[in-house]
Amino acid sequence: MDSFQKTFEELALRADIQINGKRPWDIQVHHPDLYRRLLLEGSLGLGESYMNGWWDSEQLDELICRILKLDLYTKIKPQWIDLLNLSLAKIFNRQSFRKASDVIENHYNLGNNLYQKMLDERMLYTCAYWEGAQTLEEAQERKLELVCKKIGLERGMTVLDLGCGWGGFAQYAAEKYGAQVVAVNKSSEQLELARERSRGLPVEFRQQDYREAQGLYDRVVSIGIMEHVGPKNYRTYMEVAHRCLKPEGLAFIHTIGSNRSYIYGDYWLDRYIFPNGVTPSVSQLAEAMEGIFIIEDIQNIGPHYDPTLLEWNRRFQQAWLELKQTYPERFKRMWEYYLLSCAGIFRARVLQLWQIVMNRPGRPQPRCRFS
């Protein structure tokens, strides 16, 4: 046994993980160089080696959860990766107007068929709300209703939806509440399908960056865009929302959030899933809204992301026989690692999901239902 294997086994035992053990969360090692790679490359090595078939785990999500709960990740994360990411993030705006297209081309334009097979009928690619729900469709409808209640949406109101995805919220707000919605998104593939699915509704889709949004609205909403805004642009986002909001209006953010403040994201997720993505902390968002907005309500529904991700993975696996005609086997391992490792991250409470209702300073507290 070499020193890399011995070190990894000692760390794994702290999390009650056995090498080639019989329990579902144990790691099954298929390549002798795995230990060296994990200790030298951290999360990048863990993800890439899984993609290459160097290891497996029957319950990958629980394996990741156990690693993170004991903070073992920090003990195998190479310092040079942190130093490199920190330097790049300080020098460059990795979420600039030009760079914002990276995640569109590498993730959101992967093909609508993939997402149609994986997501619910409304194609909502954000955390569902499982309180009282049995199916993904019910849980996503409950999430949309929760958002509408929190912002006090009423018939005839105008809404700006920043980063609208396939238009699920815009459709719901128009159908159920009679709202008039302008929805902006940079993804051509998402917008093409969103327009098709929203025919006959008072919804206008614009292919724009959130920074280009114009007009005045009763409500400004974003569900799942803040993770792509970036620390250098949080203040810009708040200024855009403020600029587009009527004096008596409310703004709303639904975002994954970090327990600590970072200016760069996970190395593997950055390379393979969400280029330039960074999850904000509460303190970063609060600083960005100083003098512009006050927080009327903040709720953490992070535990609901674990079952959401597991259901997305179940549907993805179920559809693989069809999807494999378009995507290679390595993509399958990449995608399941993404979904299941993220489920483990939320189960370990390393990431949260915040819903934040914001008001202008000096305005009366709105009569909204915040839970």
- Condensed to tens digits (0 to 9), the pLDDT of residues 2-17 reads 888 888 888 888 889 9
Q: HSE (CB half, 13 Å, CA atoms) of 87?
A: 6
Q: Residue 330 in contact with residue 337, Cβ under 8 Å?
A: no
Asked if residue 197 is part of any domain, the answer here is yes
Question: Contact at 8 Å (CB) between 123 and 146?
Answer: no
Residues 275 and 352 in one domain: yes
Instruction: Give the pLDDT confidence score for residue 102 in this predicted structure.
Output: 52
Distance CA 236, CA 294 (A): 16
The residue among 77, 107, 134 that closes a domain is 77
Cα 81 to the chain's mean position, in Å?
A: 22
Is 342 among the catalytic positions? yes
Does the pLDDT of residue 97 top 80, yes or no?
A: no
Q: The domain containing residue 52 runs over which residues?
A: 3-77
Say yes or no: 113 and 197 in one domain. yes
If asked whether residues 72 and 102 sit together in one domain, one would say no
Tell the residue number behind the tokens 């409470």, with chain if given: 349
Based on the fold, state whether residues 58 and 132 are members of the same structural domain. no
Flag whether pLDDT at 94 surpasses 60: no
Task: Flag whether 367 is in a domain.
Answer: no
Note whether residue 370 is domain-resident.
no
The Cα–Cα gap between 95 and 100 comes to 5
CATH of the domain at 192: 3.40.50.150
Q: Which amino acid is at 370?
A: F
Helix axes 329-347, 305-318, angle to 10 degrees: 160
Same domain, yes or no: 72 and 142: no
CA distance 107 to 101: 10
Give pTM, 2 decimals: 0.92
Angle between helix 329-347 and 60-69 (nearest 10): 40
185 vs 162: CA distance, rounded Å: 7
Angle made by CA atoms 16, 21, 26, in degrees to the nearest 5: 55
Residue among 228, 144, 148, 141 at smallest CA distance from 184 = 228
Residues 13 and 126 in one domain: no
Of 147, 296, 155, 120, whose CA–CA distance to 222 is shortest? 147
Number of domains the chain is built from: 2
Whole-number Å distance between alpha carbons of 26 and 63: 7
Among the listed residues 127, 164, 342, 368, the single catalytic one is 342
Tell me: do 108 and 66 sit in the same domain. no
pLDDT digits (tens, 9 = 90+) for 14-72: 889 999 999 999 999 999 999 999 888 888 899 999 999 999 999 999 999 999 988 76
Give the three-class secondary structure for 177: helix
Lowest mean pLDDT among 15-24, 170-179, 341-350, 361-370: 361-370
Last residue of some domain: 45, 77, 109? 77
Residue recorded with tokens 């994986």: 118
